[in-house]
Amino acid sequence: MAHFDFHFHLLFKHAISGDTDANEHTDVNQNIDVKGFADLLDSAFGGPFESQASPQMVLQSPLKFGLIAILSVEHAFVKRMMRIPGFRLEKALPLDPKMVQQIKNSEVSYHELFQKQVTFTRDTIQTHGKDWDMLLLNRSKDREEPGVWEAIRKRANANMQDAIKQQQNYKGSRWFALSIEGGHNLSEVPIRNQQGLIHQTPEETLKKLQDREDVDFMAINLSHLSRIPEMQLSGFAQGLNMSAQKAFKSPDFHPATECGLTFLGKKLVRQALTHTAKPILIDVKHMSLYSRLQYYRYRAKLAEEHQQVAKLPVISSHTGFTFTTYSNFIGNQQYLPQVDTDGEGLPVTTIAAQERKIGKTDDHNNEDLFGNPWTINLFDEEIEEIFNTNGMIGISLDQRVLGTRKMFLDGKRKSHYEPEHLAREEYTKLFENGQVPGAEAVLLEGLQRVVPLPRERHSMLLALHLVHAVRVGLNAGIAGPADVDDPSPWDYLCIGSDFDGLINPINSVKNITQIDRLKGELMRYLPQADKTLPFYEHEKALRYDRNGTVDRKYLESVIDKVLSINGIRLLMRFNNNWGI
């Protein structure tokens, strides 16, 4: 099958390793290979440093379409890297130590680093594109060489139509679009500068990118994993858990001081969505719940002024779900809050959500499955919101995003999940006062010994997510897009693996080369998930005959949609500039 991945990092690890200043990166035809102590760390932490979706792996995989996320390394990662006596993490990891120093010492802006990565990605794909049979989608108008971009678009459309039709036998090229992961990539002032400079015109920076002919971006995340004081666009949700804190030990991974979509964020959203030739979608992944709710509202308002905005879908490229509505979560206070100040003068606000059982396995000693209730994951209202915009949700393949918490006996939980941090004002407004405005997972698992889980737990979690979203859609009366065969909420779902984004992947799919395992896993676990998911039980995500036997053809068709067709259709819409 011609797989689609909504969110992965093709060259991120290559781009940040080697001598980035001299443009001498690790050979792109080689995987990043961590050695020595770092290797030990890598396996202890669940393998975030080893390559998961390098070009070579992609070539060996059935991945044909997708979004390549580009981002610069945030200050929080380099601020205080784990200190083990006699050992420096930044030296052992595949990271250019010079770049680390530049980031630490405010010698460079995120945008400069981002630009370098864009150039590197563009050039690498240009140079090796022929060998790899890999191309980048681009909506640019032809200026210098008439017909070039137009020809590429035509070819892409033809390939994608072919892939939807042929599926198993697709022989065409690999087509990818680019996305910008994190608003910080647009900041043009020195990282963490001591003068307190703010980049006041991120919209201009984005416009310059949109006006470029050589590259094109489909989406941008307003925030990422950490605090960016020099340019706040929106609040971010905690993504890293406590064991990650041990490695990178920075309070900057905790939301604390943000508050919703800022004026800078609004200017950026406006610029992103109203550029007529190359609008850029807002990917709500990583935004705080408060900011997401504010964004939905702001987008709707903007759509009143600018018709084209209504055509631009809301997306979340690599998410999990909380398996509840925020009205329920907040209204019935299904969490324990705590308000304090940390030792560094920052407000600390945490909530520990009640564990939420979302399904069962046959393993009777360890049967219950739980979602990840952190507010980085989407709430039911949001699933509905995204469907209503003809949007797309990519389910992450990070086991932590999907709900895994412990290495073993994960089916036994206490009452509450690990607390997550919220920004103080967002907490006060939304959680305390119920004002609706207008964690990504875990990088590192801790230093305990890894005990592998029965792999199906993770696949089951993935299946539960898909089923849940579909049920939410059905419950809300979402019919599905008008222009597809047999429309349903299934048409709004895909996979966003986040491979090479420093994640801890689900056990069944360790990297991109194993992505074809997903179909089998889903064939097996979607019906189970549809059986055991305790929410919206009156709605069934799959179809059954009179005896209650799963309609296998339908099952296969929705899996094809999720793993391939939906994403390709989205790319086609992008390739045709959303019909604007």
- Closest approach of Cβ 385 to another protein, in Å? 18
| Closer residue to another protein (CB): 258 or 440 | 258
CB of 282 to another protein, least distance (A): 17
The tokens describing 179, both together, are 């996305």
Roughly what angle, to the nearest 10 degrees, separates helices 380-388 and 289-305?
20
Burial class of 306 by CB neighbour count within 10 A (0 to 12, 13 to 18, 19+): middle
Minimum Å distance from CB 307 to another protein?
Answer: 18
Q: In 46-137, which ranges are continuous DSSP H helix?
A: 55-60, 75-79, 89-92, 97-104, 110-132
Taking the complex as a whole, the smallest distance from the CB of residue 79 to another protein amounts, in Å, to 8
| Smallest separation, CB 268 to another protein (Å) | 9
**Residue 258 vs 456, nearer CB to another protein:** 258
Burial category of 197 from C-beta neighbours within 10 Å (exposed 0-12, middle 13-18, buried 19 and up): middle
Length of the chain: 580
CB 377 → another protein: shortest distance, Å?
Answer: 25
> 191 or 402: whose CB is closer to another protein?
191
Residue 543 and residue 549 in contact, taking contact as beta carbons nearer than 8 Å:
no
Half-sphere exposure of 27 (CA within 13 A, CB side): 5
**What are the b/e assignments for 459-496, b being 16+ CB within 10 Å?**
bbbbbbbbbbbbbbbbbbebebeeeeeeebbbbbbbbb
Nearest to another protein of 191, 529 (CB atom):
191
With a CB cutoff of 8 Å and minimum separation 6, the contacts of 468 are: 321, 323, 358, 383, 533, 535, 536
Give the nearer residue to another protein in terms of CB position, either 267 or 413: 267
Identity of the residue, 19 or 342, whose beta carbon is nearer to another protein in the bound complex: 342
Shortest distance, position 294 Cβ to another protein, whole Å: 8
In the bound state with another protein, the residue whose beta carbon lies nearer, of 33 and 204, is 204
Nearer to another protein, 274 or 507 (CB): 274
Amino acid at site 325: T
Give the dihedral sign, CA 148/154/157/158: negative
CB of 249 to another protein, least distance (A): 10
The tokens describing 266, both together, are 């609004």
* CA 162, chain centre distance (Å): 27
How near is the Cβ of 502 to another protein at its closest, in Å?
23
Q: Yes or no: say if 394 and 495 are a contact pair by the CB < 8 Å rule.
A: yes
Helix (H) or strand (E) holding 136: strand 134-136
Q: How far is the CB of 541 from another protein (least distance, A)?
A: 36
- Nearer Cβ to another protein (105/549): 105
Q: Distance between CA 225 and CA 481 in Å, rounded?
A: 33
The residue (of 34 and 222) whose beta carbon lies closer to another protein is 222
Tokens of 576: 């045709």
Q: What residues pair up with 421 in beta bridges, in sequence order? A: 350
Residue bearing tokens 């705590």: 338
Cβ closest to another protein, residue 342 vs residue 537: 342
For the record, the structure tokens of 521 come out as 């896993």
- d(CA 81, CA 546) in angstroms, rounded, equals 59
CB of 190 to another protein, least distance (A): 9
Nearer to another protein, 192 or 510 (CB): 192
CB of 74 to another protein, least distance (A): 14
CB of 102 to another protein, least distance (A): 16
Q: How far is the CB of 346 from another protein (least distance, A)?
A: 5
Pick the closer one to another protein by CB: 160 or 256: 256
d(CA 1, CA 170): 7
Positive/negative CA dihedral, 398, 400, 403, 409: positive
User: Is the Cβ of residue 79 or residue 413 nearer to another protein in the bound state?
Assistant: 79
CB of 482 to another protein, least distance (A): 32
**Helix or strand holding residue 347 (H, E):** strand 347-353
- In the complex with another protein, which residue's Cβ is closer, 307 or 365? 307
Residues at the site binding another protein, with contacts judged by CB under 8 A: 189, 192, 194-201, 204, 229, 232, 256-259, 262-265, 267, 297-298, 340-347, 425, 428-429, 433, 435, 437-438
Cβ(159)–Cβ(172) below 8 Å: yes
- In 3D space, the residue among 283, 233, 225, 281 whose CA is nearest the CA of residue 261 turns out to be 233
User: What is the SS3 assignment for 205-229?
Assistant: HHHHHHHCCCCCEEEEECCCCCCCC
Handedness of CA 244, 250, 255, 256 (dihedral sign): positive
For residue 221, the cross-strand partners are 283
